[in-house]
A and B are shown apart, each in its own frame.
Chain A
C-alpha cells in the first residue's frame, strides 16, 4: 500500500479542490490505471455538466431579448442559436467539437469559447501562481521558525496567527486590504486588470492585493504543514545522527529536515493550485478581475449554455489533471515508496 499522503481535508483546505489516491503495486500499472481513471472522470463529468445545464430553467433567447420582445423574435433567435436540436445531438456535437479543439461559439458574446477562456486564464493562472508564491514565501519560513522554536512562545504565537489566517473569510480580508492599501494609502489599485500586452507592470500590480487575499489562508496552512512535517522528521534517526556528528539542532533541521519535509509541502502546493484555480471567483468579484470564475458566473446568469459547459469542463480538466500530476509525482518521488518496490 502507498503511504497515506496528506489530503485536502486535514490540511484545512477549503472545499474547492483536492484529492488523493492510494494503493497498487507496480508503478507503470499504477500510472496507466490512474490515467484511465482520469479519462473516465472527464467523460462522466462532461455528461453530468451537460445534463445539469439542459435542465436549467430559463430560455436563453428570452433572456437576451428581454421583456418587450415579441414571441416571433424569441423563436427566431432560438432557431439561430440551435436550441431546437435534440439533446443527444447537441451533446454529441459538443464532445466531438471539443476533441477537435472546437469549444463552440458563445451564445451571448458571439465569439469562440476557446478564445474567451484563454483570455480569462491569462488572469486566473497568474493570480493563482502569484498567490502560491506569496503563500510559500510567508508560510514556509513561519513554519520552519515555529518548528525551530517548538513549544516556545514564538511557536504558539505563530500557530495562533495561522489559526486566525485560516479563519478569516478571504473576501472579507480582501475588502480590508483594499481599504488600507488602495483607498487610504493608494499604493496599489483597488481592483481591475490591465491587459498584459498593454502594461505588464500594471497588470502585476493589479494582482497583488487579490493574491494576498487568496494567499493568507494558504500560507497559514503551509506554515502548519511545514511545522508538523519538521517536527515529525526531527524525531527520526538521520536527524539524531546529524546531531551526533556535532551539528546544532537548527543546522540539522535545515540540512536534513527541511529537505525531507518538502514532499508533503509540494503535495499541498499541488492541491492548493487546484483549489485556487477554481476557487478564485469570490475574490475575482471583490477585485473585479476578469477571471475564469467570473466568466462562468455571468455566463450562467445569462444562460450562455455553450460557454458555461465548455468553461466548466476545462476547469474540471485542469483540476483533475493537477490531481493526476500530484498523484504521479507523489508515487515517483517518495523515497519510501522506492524502497518498498525494491
Chain B
C-alpha cells in the first residue's frame, strides 16, 4: 500500500514555486540495492532502513560523521562526570518533529525507555544496557546514569538504533516515520522507491537538496543501466566487478572509502578438527589473501590479519602472522593428524563477496587436501543455522559493527572461541578510558586473536560509490550504515 502523507510544509511549497528549471539542481535520485522491510531504525537490523532514514529523517543526540567521529546532534553539548558514569546533555531549542510536535527531554527519556523495555524489539538493545536511568532535568536538559563506564557510549547513542522518536508517532514509524531530521518522509511506493522532501522548519542548517528519492534496484546489471541512462544519480556501494564501466567516464565519479566490515572465514572453534590450533594455522597458511581480494572485490578490499579495521588508530598490521605457504600448511595439517587433509562444509550467506570468496577458498584449500562442500543459504536460514544454532564448520561473513573485537571475549558467540586471556583483556578495555592504555589493550587483543588464528582473516570491505560527477558532499566512508544527504549538493 502506498503511504502518502500530505505535507503542509514550507518545503513542498518552495518546490512548486521554483519550478522545473531548478528542480534538477536540487533533487537527487539515489539507487539502493535493498528495499527496507519497514522504516523504523529502532525496531529492525536491516541496513536498508538506515540507508534511507539515518540522519535524513531521524536524528540522535549525537551523530557520527563520515570519518566515524562523534559530533553534536540534537544535543548541542554535554558534560561527563569524573567517574564516567553520568552524562548530562543540553538539547537544541526549537526542534520540532515532522508532525509539528515539539522535541524536548521527555522524548529522549521515552526513546531510551522504549529501547530498554522488557518487550523492546530493538536490534541493538545490548549496546544500551549500561544505561540505568534517564532523568529529565528540565525540558532542554537530560541526564543519563550508567551502571559502568562505557567508552563507546557517545558513539552508540549516535547510531540509527538510538535516534529520537516521539511518543505520539513512534508506533507508526515502521510505515510513516516521523523524526526531527532535515528531510521528511513523503511517500513509499513499495517495491520501487521512497521519497523524502526537505523539512522547512528544520532546526539546523538547511540542506541543499529539496527532494530525495531512493530507488530500489537489486540487480547489478540493472543498476548499471539505470546509472548509465541517468535514471539514478548515484549509488553508495556499487558492485566492484562492474566498476570498470564507469572508470574513465567523465560523467561519473567513483568514491572509494572504508567500511567497518571485517570479512572473515568464520571457523567453528568449538568443533573438531577446528578446535586444533594447528588446523586453524594450516588454513591460515593456505589462504591466498591477495587472490581472494582480487577475485571477490576486484582489488578494492583492504587486507586484514586480525579482527580490526585498518583505518582505526588502534590498528596494527598482522597480515604476515601466517603468510601464504602451502608447504607449511601441509606440514601443520600432518602435525595435527590430518596428513591427507579433511572434508568440511562452508555455509555461505547470499552476498556476493561471500559466494565468490567461498569458491576461491574452496579451490585454494583443495591444494592442501581440505575438501570444502559449498552450501549456499538465504539470510533467514543462515541466521538460524549458523548464527543461532552454531551448526556449521566454516562460513564467510562480514562483521560490520564498529569496534567489535569484543565478540572474541564472548565464549557463547557463534564461532565458539573461548580464551580467558582475551576475556580478561576485554573487560579491562571496557573499563578503561585512557586513550593510550586503551590502544595498548586493543592491540594486545588483536595480536592474540591473530596468533590463535581464530578465524580466517580476509579483508576489510571497501565502500565503492558511483555518483554523477556533478554531485558533491556524499560520504566516502561508511563508519555506520547510512546515506547521509545533509551535505549533498549539485555543482556546475
Task: Establish whether A and B are touching in the complex (CB under 8 Å).
Answer: yes
Within the complex, which residue of B125, B217, B226 is in contact with A69, where a contact is CB–CB below 8 Å? B125
Please give the distance in Å from A208's CB to the nearest CB on chain B.
14
* Docked complex Cα distance between A198 and B3 (Å): 14
- Does B434 sit at the interface, judged by CB under 8 A? no
Q: Which of B197-218 contact A (CB under 8 A)?
A: 215-218
Closest to B397 in A: A67
A191: chain B residues within 8 A (beta carbon)? 217, 222, 225-226, 231
B231–A190 touching, CB < 8 Å: yes
18 contacts between A and B (CB under 8 A): A57-B384, A63-B379, A68-B124, A68-B127, A69-B124, A73-B122, A108-B38, A109-B37, A109-B38, A178-B225, A183-B229, A191-B217, A193-B189, A193-B192, A285-B218, A288-B215, A291-B191, A298-B191
Within the complex, which residue of A63, A67, A183 is in contact with B380, where a contact is CB–CB below 8 Å? A63
- Given A64-B45, A190-B222: A111 touches B1 (CB 8 Å cut-off): yes
* Docked complex Cα distance between A341 and B218 (Å): 55
A111–B222 touching, CB < 8 Å: no
Within the complex, which residue of B3, B125, B229, B388 is in contact with A189, where a contact is CB–CB below 8 Å? B229
A70–B225 touching, CB < 8 Å: no
Within the complex, which residue of A57, A175, A189, A302 is in contact with B231, where a contact is CB–CB below 8 Å? A189
B3, B118, B191: residue with the most chain A Cβ atoms closer than 10 Å: B191
* Docked complex Cα distance between A309 and B37 (Å): 17
* Docked complex Cα distance between A43 and B219 (Å): 36
Interface stretch, picked from A85-93, A114-122, A244-252, is A114-122
Q: Which of A57-80 contact B (CB under 8 A)?
A: 57-60, 62-70, 72-73, 76-77, 79-80
* Docked complex Cα distance between A193 and B215 (Å): 10
Closest to A298 in B: B35
Q: Which of A142-191 contact B (CB under 8 A)?
A: 175, 178-179, 182-183, 186, 189-191
Binary flags per residue of B114-129, CB closer than 8 Å to A gives 1, else 0: 0000111111111100
Closest to B221 in A: A175
Q: Which of A93-137 contact B (CB under 8 A)?
A: 108-112, 115-116, 118-120, 123
Please give the distance in Å from A31's CB to the nearest CB on chain B.
37
Number of B interface residues, CB 8 Å?
50
- Given A69-B123, A116-B190, A192-B226: A62 touches B219 (CB 8 Å cut-off): no
B46: chain A residues within 8 A (beta carbon)? 64, 66
- Given A64-B44, A191-B217: A290 touches B189 (CB 8 Å cut-off): yes
A112: chain B residues within 8 A (beta carbon)? 1
- Does A287 sit at the interface, judged by CB under 8 A? yes
- Does B342 sit at the interface, judged by CB under 8 A? no
Within the complex, which residue of A67, A291, A298 is in contact with B45, where a contact is CB–CB below 8 Å? A67
Binary flags per residue of A36-59, CB closer than 8 Å to B gives 1, else 0: 000000000000000000000111
- Given A59-B380, A67-B383, A109-B37: A190 touches B44 (CB 8 Å cut-off): no
Within the complex, which residue of B175, B217, B378 is in contact with A111, where a contact is CB–CB below 8 Å? B175
- Does B381 sit at the interface, judged by CB under 8 A? yes
* Docked complex Cα distance between A62 and B2 (Å): 27
B385: chain A residues within 8 A (beta carbon)? 57
Closest to B126 in A: A70
A57–B381 touching, CB < 8 Å: yes
B222–A286 touching, CB < 8 Å: yes
Within the complex, which residue of B192, B216, B350, B383 is in contact with A62, where a contact is CB–CB below 8 Å? B383
Closest to B225 in A: A190
- Does A303 sit at the interface, judged by CB under 8 A? yes
Contact-residue bracket for chain A: 35 or more
Closest to A287 in B: B222
Please give the distance in Å from B184's CB to the nearest CB on chain A.
18
- Does B401 sit at the interface, judged by CB under 8 A? yes
B225: chain A residues within 8 A (beta carbon)? 178-179, 182-183, 190-191
A76: chain B residues within 8 A (beta carbon)? 118-121
A80: chain B residues within 8 A (beta carbon)? 119, 121
- Does A301 sit at the interface, judged by CB under 8 A? yes
Within the complex, which residue of A295, A302, A303 is in contact with B191, where a contact is CB–CB below 8 Å? A295
Closest to B388 in A: A62
Closest to A297 in B: B218
B119: chain A residues within 8 A (beta carbon)? 76, 79-80
Please give the distance in Å from B446's CB to the nearest CB on chain A.
21
- Given A285-B218, A286-B219: A62 touches B125 (CB 8 Å cut-off): no
Closest to A122 in B: B2
- Does A195 sit at the interface, judged by CB under 8 A? yes
B121: chain A residues within 8 A (beta carbon)? 64-65, 73, 76-77, 80
Binary flags per residue of A290-328, CB closer than 8 Å to B gives 1, else 0: 110011001001111000000000000000000000000
Closest to A108 in B: B37
A189: chain B residues within 8 A (beta carbon)? 229, 231
A68: chain B residues within 8 A (beta carbon)? 45, 123-124, 126-127, 401
- Does B174 sit at the interface, judged by CB under 8 A? yes
B219: chain A residues within 8 A (beta carbon)? 285-286, 288
- Given A67-B45, A285-B218: A109 touches B226 (CB 8 Å cut-off): no
B124–A58 touching, CB < 8 Å: no
* Docked complex Cα distance between A295 and B356 (Å): 27
Binary flags per residue of B338-372, CB closer than 8 Å to A gives 1, else 0: 00000000000010000000000000000000000
- Does B228 sit at the interface, judged by CB under 8 A? yes
* Docked complex Cα distance between A156 and B287 (Å): 57
Binary flags per residue of B16-34, CB closer than 8 Å to A gives 1, else 0: 0000000000000000000
* Docked complex Cα distance between A179 and B38 (Å): 33
A69–B191 touching, CB < 8 Å: no
A67: chain B residues within 8 A (beta carbon)? 45, 383, 387
